[in-house]
Structure 1
Amino acid sequence: MIALYRNQLKHKEDPQVRLKLAQYYYQVGDYQTSLNTLLALNNKTDRQIALLRAKNAIALENYAQALQVTDAMMLREPNDAEAWNLRGIALALSGKREEGQRAIEYARALFIADEIALNNLAAIAMLDQRYQHVVELLLPQYLYGKKQTRLLHNLVLSLVKVGDRRSARNIIESENLSDRPDALIDALAQVAPDVKEKV
């Protein structure tokens, strides 16, 4: 898809095609190229462009830039749940965890998807190694049938960290996360989480 969209832009500039190209770069983890692709759209105030800018800035650990983008979004729409959620992530990862948690809780009050808000709140708890709180947040979501990859990874790691290896093994086996559940559990018991990947 990247080659297709690049070829289209080579022949004719189209803001929608440019945005799609930037989204694909983001999805494959090429955050700087995604941001660079968006540069030609700088004069646009499109919400999708702003959200992608904020996501790229967070991925590149440029939290100040992410906060600038989300602040500008909230000036236009004070109750944009996704902007509040991204603001919370940027705040938490920049060290302002309580402020970040409040922003994500506000995003949840504005009806961002529960699994998104709860997984992000869980990631903040993981920063403080409050693994029991993570289990309390995510296990009900799993039992309700929510099985997004990040939620599963955060839940399994936290179960291991609180010593509930049996539940962790059950989830690993049920969700086919590994063909060697005990080896995975042993490895998880030894490592600290890379929470930036989990938010």
Structure 2
Amino acid sequence: MKFQEFTKGIIKNNAVFALALGLCPTLAITTSVENALGMSLAFAFVLISSNLIISALKRFIPQEVRIPCFIVIIASLVTAIDLFIHGYSPTLYEHLGIFLPLIVVNCIILGRAEAFASKHSVSDTFLDAAGVSVGFALAIISVSAIRELLGSGTIVIFGHEVVPAFTSSPAVVMLLPPGAFLTIGILLALLKRAKVI
């Protein structure tokens, strides 16, 4: 039963592909795998930390003000990760732009806090948050890998060419907003066809 808490958020209830949540950052920052990795790590830090704190403090948070309390906890963690990325990776900070602070109001994080963390044990909450984080990371990294590969002809992570250039004339439209919609649409169709989600 415990392991199921982890696995359900990865594919079956994947926030991006199965539930269509968190599409704003998915569409906006998936122009490169490096951006997706940065957003995935920031998202995972905030989701796991906030849900653990909320689960541990659930008995002390009054029912009437639980949502504002959740937002304060999430906002504090987002501020911490925002300052960390700004200090240690200014380029990534610049690429993530407004979407990094917008993690505060990400419906996935607030939804997991309300639907799961506030009602379950700390250990179950950790497994749930870790599974949702892995699922979100897989979704945005797969979208960004396809977009970067087709849009620039290569995949570069932290200055290293991971996938060598395979074309001299990439489809630049894949790096534009229509490319994000096309990629997500095709991936959703393939996952539905394969009955994965």
TM-score by length of 1: 0.26
Structure with more relative contact order (C-alpha pairs < 8 Å, separation 6 or more): 2
Max Rg structure: 1
| Higher helix proportion (structure 1 or 2) | 1
